[in-house]
Structure 1
Amino acid sequence: MSSGDGPAWADTVRGLARRVIGPAAEPVRFAARDGGERAYAYEAAAGVLTIAATDGVSASVALHHYLRERCGVSVGWDTVLPLGLTALPDAPPREGTARVGEGYYFNFCTFSYTMPYWDWADWEREIDWMALHGITMPLAVTGHEAVLHAAYSALGLDDERIRAFLGGPGYLPFQFMGCLDGFAGPLPASWLDGHRELGARVLDRERAFGMTPVLPAFTGHVPPELAATARAGRRTWQGFETWVLDPADPLYERIGAEITRAQIELFGTDHLYAADPFIEMIPIDADPAFPGAVAAATLAGLQAADPDAVWLMQAWPFSYQRDFWTEERVNAFLDAIPDERMLVADLWAEYDPLWGRFREFSGKPWLWCALLNFGGRTDPGADLRSLPTGVDGALAAPSPPVGIGLSMEATRNNPVFFELVADQIWTEVPDLDAWLDAFAAQRYGTGGRWAEELRAAWHGLLGTVYDARGVRIAPDQFKGVITAAPSYAWIPDGPAELRADAARVLWYRPEALARAWERLIEVAEHDRDLLAGPLGHDLAEVGVAYMARVADRCHLDAVERSIELGAAAGPELDRFLRVFDDLDRMLACRPEYTFQHWESKALAHAADAAERELLADNARRMITVWGTSDNPLLDDYAGRHWSGLVGGYYRDRWALWATGLDQALHRDPGRALSGRDAPEAELRERLRERAELFLREGPPPAPRDLGDLATESRRLFTAYAGQTSPLARPADHDR
């Protein structure tokens, strides 16, 4: 192993080691390692661990591999830190080389759905996780609102107008993407100052590890005042109208340069900039050459301020609006940018890879990314079996990706999926079952205790919720009745579509999921100390997986029994609503599964009563109606199985539905969905009123007299899985 005088990143990685390991990290030594590829080597003897690496991220990966391989413990989002190791076991020399040059992380949406209200402690922990998992290229948008404020101030807009344009703090990333402006705001002045400082601190730490952060860039979206005096067009995203400049207007390049200069002044630069001038909106000009004009103007604005600028472009529009984005249009767009000036992120490659369709993006460097989670859904599910094959296929392409990315819209869900993606930045996974065995052992760090139970539980999950081969896990698919908007739309034609929805999300045998759940419960009952860490998260997540399907079944039972009786079926409706109460109790045992936790993080930023009201509104609105209570386009998009929502907001909505069911069944079917006094219209109005009440008052108090998570999980299991299963797996879903 080579040694040096102490690489520049050594103190940063040493700090990570102390936070992760505790006092036992003192005898960890770091040295530089030469080489053109990211690589590391480690060995440990006589209580001293020596790591040589090409860079700080590679050194962090080496530390994590040592902890996993020699200490039997991994560091996940939910791991209790420091680990509390008392000594560092010996390890023979071990070397590793990255399979790809870059590990990309985040999606613009992640900054709204996971971390809009984070403080430095949250970010420090996250950056440590990033380094340990090989992330070298994180998207960094924290504090970008200060950049826009500075740029638009230079262009002559006053403070009050700019903050009104920026809108609410919880929605800023959607403002940065050009989806909306002036919504749920105005932005508090105190937020600007605090997050400018937080953003700088985040970037300083990422760069100290040797990461190259990707900063936002201009998308053409401008305030109405500027659009009024320029060539511009209006466009609509999910009911929100915004103005976008025509690239032929000189103001397009000027504003792009102004924003880039302001950003460099406030935050420095690593010459990587993310902008999607289209996102989920059709360009304002249908001419096939128009996207190329947008591309040229966007790059020109960047290069006017930073001649070394490289543009990172999310390929999401090419998937989301594939009918518009023909090969001709995509090629016109890509060909307008020199290859060395663009990096393309294939954002949903685990399900809808675009790299094959567009011939590895016509020679542009590109990233293979896994998205999976939209909006922060808490109902787990993924296709683990196909993931290594998908990555290996991309790496074998004529022009393979330069990096692997995690581009989820929200983190803290499906950790097994995202750990598997991150591992493949450095390591091939030829045997998923063996990988899963190691994952289960290292995730809980029990040193062999409960090994067989945990292994069996995880293989049960691999054969059920994580065997979603061929399943489209997307926001426009049915996600379960708990977070769905109640409706009587099925009445005229009967419940056939409800049955199809329930079957669509039950692609596995529910009894196998119940067995996996019970094994996790048994381990928790015997070792309650594990509940504070990943086991607690997994118990909640698997409990949601099972109970969400119970709710689907109970809802269908209530509908079918009511049709049979010709009236609302009271016992079946009561059982359906009881599911919400019982699940809410279990979720209340785990802080991150409570709405109160989310809202309290938001309110921590309030400087006065007015800001407290605005931040509470943002926190409540994003997770429920998203936009306004009379605009259903994004209603429940980010709906989550959280205590306070499940037993409060969602249960109340379904209780309103149950109350009106008898009346709906007795209406003339031809009038059931129309007319001023029709049951469906009445229900929609009552649901709108309920949403407005939640936005004003928030969730109900947490359940009382709770046991711990093991106790509440056992209570649920006994009530719903320990007796005759309420679920029936459709016969045509056999594999």
Structure 2
Amino acid sequence: MTTGDGERSPAWAEAAGGLAHRVLGPVAEAVRFVPLEEAGRGRAERRGYEYEAGRGALTIAATDGVSASVALHHYLRERCGLSVGWDTLLPLRPGSLPDAPPSRGSARVREGYYLNFCTFSYTMPYWDWPDWEREIDWMALHGITMPLAVTGHEAALRTAYSRLGLEDKAIREFLGGPGYLPFQFMGCLDGFAGPLPSSWINAHADLGKRILDRERALGMAPVLPAFTGHVPQEVAAGAGRAGHRDWQGFGTWVLDPSDPLYERIGAEIARAQIELFGTDHRYAADPFIEMIPVEADPAFPGRVAAATLDGLRAADPDAVWVMQAWPFSYQGEFWTEERVTAFLGAIPDDRMLVADLWAEHDPQWTRFDGFSGKPWLWCALLNFGGRTDPVADLRAVPPAVDAALAAPNPPTGLGLSMEATRNNPVFFELVADQLWNRVPDVEAWLDAFVVQRYGEGGWTAGLQAAWRGLLDTVYDARGLRIFPEQFNGVITAPPSYEWITVRPDLNGLERLRADTARALWYRPDALAAAWERLIGVAERHRDLLDGPLGHDLTEVGIAYMARVADRLHLDTVEHAVRSGGASAPRADRFLRVFGDLDRMLACRDEYTFRHWEAKALSWASGPAEREVLLDNARRVITAWGPAASPLLDDYAGRHWAGLVGGYYRDRWRLWAEGLDRAVAAPGPEHEARLREALVERAELFLRDGPAPSPDDLGGLAAESRRLFTAYAGGGGSPFARPS
């Protein structure tokens, strides 16, 4: 090993040592961290590590704290057969540290990017320090060097707008509810589901500082939010020129980039943020995101770009703008090559970093020739809103990454840009692995993933077989567009009679059949076989259920039962059409799925709505805060916006206990009660009545929350076996016979 000066301890060693103790327990005392200096390889350009273990001690030499953490994780995986995932029980407490010959690793790219503005609303709005400490450890172990960090940004906005003369009450009303702050920061909405409690702002400013201190101590360079042109209406009214725009029914005001106030406010916000949180000179701003610019002139986006950067540089001369390429994908018809070129051309190459947000499915780097020479990040998104059932095209990921890295203008980093975490861990682990290692064989990688995820034992062969089954079913979504508007199962979808009221003929029914078939691109019996293997291991090794196996067993149960619900819904509709009514027995069987699935979900805390709601309420310091927090936690997962607006209804729908067996089942019961009438006398009035009833149901949920879970639950293995027997085994499968 080539290390630095003798016993000199690097600045990041204390933070890395703390991480090691949290991961390993007391045995971490035998882990030593030293600096790594390598001739011919600049530390700023290439991250690397070396490790060696002998006589019960492990020495890790690294260029930085993140590389040291990656080295620790690679040692655990390669020598101990153990990995650290989101749901791994920690500390691992290995009995000793096995010997290992000198091993070394080099990062394939300079940066590992992490998170999405939406993640801070769909996963972590109510996290406290223990949640964040665990997450930062995960980030370091997986090579994340550049995390998005928006916790506490509301404090910077309050400071900046106070200096501009706004009263505190007006600022908090502009900021809106705590569960929606990331959308406020992106400029999508303001003043919704609030006002923001003062206690929240103060507490989250402290939490944000603590998060940033730890990330920086490990050698990360966090990305902070920046001004997007979005201002309070009072400011817009006094500006020389401002535009009004709409996002999903929410109206906001934006300054014209030619107005001097644009640069002034941008600089004021950046200064306030630097005072509160410091800076690593990287700032995330998306002035358009999912909104067409207020002027059609192709040169207008370039003027916005210049004004945005000018504001940042007035506060921080070394500022680099990190921008998501999502608008170019989401509104591709508007973002022509001319407009994108004008926009990117307004920023010097060394002042912008572009995140190609959905590169695993809709890469923009190929469309815009590597973003005209700008440094960029290849990112994997996959999850929109917090989807809870497993789905991905695993085999397509390594070739996509390899192709990007072989391009004339390759990415400077790889990123995980999911809208919510804690789902599909195999997909995100696969992407993160490629920060440091090429993956030429997904099957071989998956076998190793299984061993490391659960630890090696008598269960290994059974679990590897189960995961091969998953790789050939839910994780073989080749070429599919995994997007909420096109990939919803019926459980979390708003009930509708549209197929018969809009198209009262067989074409409507054919479309419904096509939608159902599109979500089942694999043989359901193959998924059932994988599910049964997981259940068998859980029954024989119940001690594994508290860790990753419990999460995975729940996910696979959701995957199978979601398709069962789709099939029984179609069965109910087809029977109603054939018979002209009398759908009740079929509808009852369809509705039974919701209660049965809910029981299984209730066995795992993170799959319960009560867990989400309790985390939100942990921040309430009084009745007013409690009311706002309850509303936000319930609303964003269901109605999202006003209950009467269908625009984002169920966008963040989750397969969670309390929702599946309560909220969603109640809505489908309303649908079932009117189905025969809608079939017998098709007309738009049925859809209108159903929509009215659904709005009332949403308002009831927002007021009262979910019903309590059953008190006669078995364990997760028992409830999973019960579900399997009822719907996949013993002739219970709805896929085994025609409807």
Query: In which range does the TM-score fall when normalised by the shorter chain?
Result: over 0.9
**CA distance, structure 2, for counterparts of residue 3 and residue 311 of structure 1:** 34
State the partner residue of 1:691: 698
| Residue identity matched to 2:660 | V
Residues 482-507 of structure 1: CA distance to partner in whole angstroms, max 9, x if unpaired? 01111111221242111111111111
Equivalent residue runs for 1:175-190 within 5 Å: 175-190=184-199
State the partner residue of 2:101: 92
1:225 is the counterpart of 2:245 = no
**CA distance, structure 2, for counterparts of residue 567 and residue 322 of structure 1:** 44
1:62 is the counterpart of 2:79 = no
Quick one: which of 393, 409, 414 aligns to 1:404? 414
Quick one: which of 454, 467, 475 aligns to 2:484? 475
Equivalent residue runs for 1:486-501 within 5 Å: 486-491=495-500, 492-494=504-506, 495-501=509-515
Equivalent residue runs for 1:444-593 within 5 Å: 444-445=454-455, 447-491=456-500, 492-494=504-506, 495-593=509-607
| Residue identity matched to 1:594 | T
1:244 is the counterpart of 2:254 = yes
| Residue identity matched to 1:493 | D
| Residue identity matched to 1:325 | W
Quick one: which of 319, 328, 331 aligns to 1:318? 328
Aligned with 1:134: secondary structure?
coil
Residues 206-236 of structure 1: CA distance to partner in whole angstroms, max 9, x if unpaired? 0000000000000000000000011100000
State the partner residue of 2:631: 617
Equivalent residue runs for 1:353-364 within 5 Å: 353-364=363-374
State the partner residue of 1:306: 316
State the partner residue of 2:267: 257
**CA distance, structure 2, for counterparts of residue 214 and residue 655 of structure 1:** 46
Q: Any conservation in 2 of the 1:506–1:729 contact (CA below 8 Å)?
A: no
Quick one: which of 3, 14, 17 aligns to 2:17? 14
**CA distance, structure 1, for counterparts of residue 698 and residue 614 of structure 2:** 20
State the partner residue of 2:31: 28
Equivalent residue runs for 1:409-428 within 5 Å: 409-428=419-438
Shift of 1:561: 1.1
Shift of 1:703: 1.5
**CA distance, structure 2, for counterparts of residue 3 and residue 224 of structure 1:** 57
**CA distance, structure 2, for counterparts of residue 490 and residue 360 of structure 1:** 43
Shift of 1:379: 1.8
RMSD in angstroms over aligned alpha carbons? 1.1
State the partner residue of 2:723: 716
State the partner residue of 2:356: 346
State the partner residue of 1:383: 393
Residues 235-256 of structure 1: CA distance to partner in whole angstroms, max 9, x if unpaired? 0000000000000000000000
State the partner residue of 1:664: 678
Quick one: which of 635, 644, 647 aligns to 1:630? 644
Q: Any conservation in 2 of the 1:549–1:727 contact (CA below 8 Å)?
A: no
Task: Report which stretch shifted further, 595-604 or 472-481.
Answer: 472-481
State the partner residue of 1:365: 375
| Residue identity matched to 2:386 | G
Residues 664-712 of structure 1: CA distance to partner in whole angstroms, max 9, x if unpaired? 2222x2xx11xxxx21111110100000000000000012211110110
Q: Any conservation in 1 of the 2:51–2:59 contact (CA below 8 Å)?
A: yes
Shift of 1:449: 2.1
**CA distance, structure 1, for counterparts of residue 676 and residue 577 of structure 2:** 10
Q: Any conservation in 1 of the 2:481–2:487 contact (CA below 8 Å)?
A: no
Mark the runs of 5 or more structure 2 residues left unpaired by the alignment: none
**CA distance, structure 1, for counterparts of residue 176 and residue 451 of structure 2:** 46
Q: Any conservation in 2 of the 1:508–1:729 contact (CA below 8 Å)?
A: no
**CA distance, structure 2, for counterparts of residue 468 and residue 493 of structure 1:** 31
State the partner residue of 2:86: 77
Shift of 1:729: 9.7
Aligned with 2:33: secondary structure?
strand
Q: Any conservation in 2 of the 1:553–1:726 contact (CA below 8 Å)?
A: no
Aligned with 2:15: secondary structure?
helix
Equivalent residue runs for 1:111-260 within 5 Å: 111-230=120-239, 231-260=241-270
**CA distance, structure 2, for counterparts of residue 333 and residue 476 of structure 1:** 29
Aligned with 2:499: secondary structure?
coil
**CA distance, structure 2, for counterparts of residue 248 and residue 476 of structure 1:** 37
**CA distance, structure 2, for counterparts of residue 239 and residue 687 of structure 1:** 19
Shift of 1:67: 0.5
**CA distance, structure 1, for counterparts of residue 487 and residue 534 of structure 2:** 27
| TM-score normalised by L of structure 2 | 0.97
Q: Any conservation in 1 of the 2:726–2:732 contact (CA below 8 Å)?
A: no
Residues 9-36 of structure 1: CA distance to partner in whole angstroms, max 9, x if unpaired? 0010100000011111111001000142
| TM-score normalised by L of structure 1 | 0.97
Residues 538-575 of structure 1: CA distance to partner in whole angstroms, max 9, x if unpaired? 00100000000000001011111111221132221111
**CA distance, structure 1, for counterparts of residue 518 and residue 247 of structure 2:** 28
**CA distance, structure 1, for counterparts of residue 665 and residue 425 of structure 2:** 28
Residues 255-278 of structure 1: CA distance to partner in whole angstroms, max 9, x if unpaired? 000000000000000000000000
Aligned with 2:388: secondary structure?
coil
Shift of 1:128: 0.1
Q: Any conservation in 2 of the 1:568–1:658 contact (CA below 8 Å)?
A: no
Shift of 1:357: 0.8
**CA distance, structure 2, for counterparts of residue 38 and residue 478 of structure 1:** 39
| Residue identity matched to 1:34 | E
Aligned with 1:490: secondary structure?
helix
Aligned with 2:222: secondary structure?
coil
Aligned with 2:180: secondary structure?
helix
**CA distance, structure 2, for counterparts of residue 563 and residue 356 of structure 1:** 47
**CA distance, structure 1, for counterparts of residue 627 and residue 488 of structure 2:** 31
**CA distance, structure 2, for counterparts of residue 599 and residue 77 of structure 1:** 20
Q: Any conservation in 2 of the 1:9–1:209 contact (CA below 8 Å)?
A: yes
**CA distance, structure 2, for counterparts of residue 396 and residue 695 of structure 1:** 50
Q: Any conservation in 2 of the 1:100–1:425 contact (CA below 8 Å)?
A: yes
Shift of 1:84: 1.6
Q: Any conservation in 2 of the 1:537–1:590 contact (CA below 8 Å)?
A: yes
Q: Any conservation in 1 of the 2:4–2:37 contact (CA below 8 Å)?
A: no
**CA distance, structure 2, for counterparts of residue 664 and residue 504 of structure 1:** 25
| Residue identity matched to 2:522 | Y
**CA distance, structure 2, for counterparts of residue 277 and residue 729 of structure 1:** 51
| Residue identity matched to 1:310 | V
**CA distance, structure 2, for counterparts of residue 3 and residue 590 of structure 1:** 47
Q: Any conservation in 2 of the 1:554–1:726 contact (CA below 8 Å)?
A: no
Residues 606-638 of structure 1: CA distance to partner in whole angstroms, max 9, x if unpaired? 001111111000000000000011110100000
**CA distance, structure 2, for counterparts of residue 493 and residue 25 of structure 1:** 68
Quick one: which of 708, 712, 728 aligns to 1:705? 712
Task: Report which stretch shifted further, 332-341 or 86-95.
Answer: 86-95
State the partner residue of 1:394: 404
Mark the runs of 5 or more structure 1 residues left unpaired by the alignment: none
Aligned with 1:428: secondary structure?
coil
**CA distance, structure 1, for counterparts of residue 308 and residue 584 of structure 2:** 60
| Residue identity matched to 2:714 | G
Residues 427-451 of structure 1: CA distance to partner in whole angstroms, max 9, x if unpaired? 0000111000000110011x23211
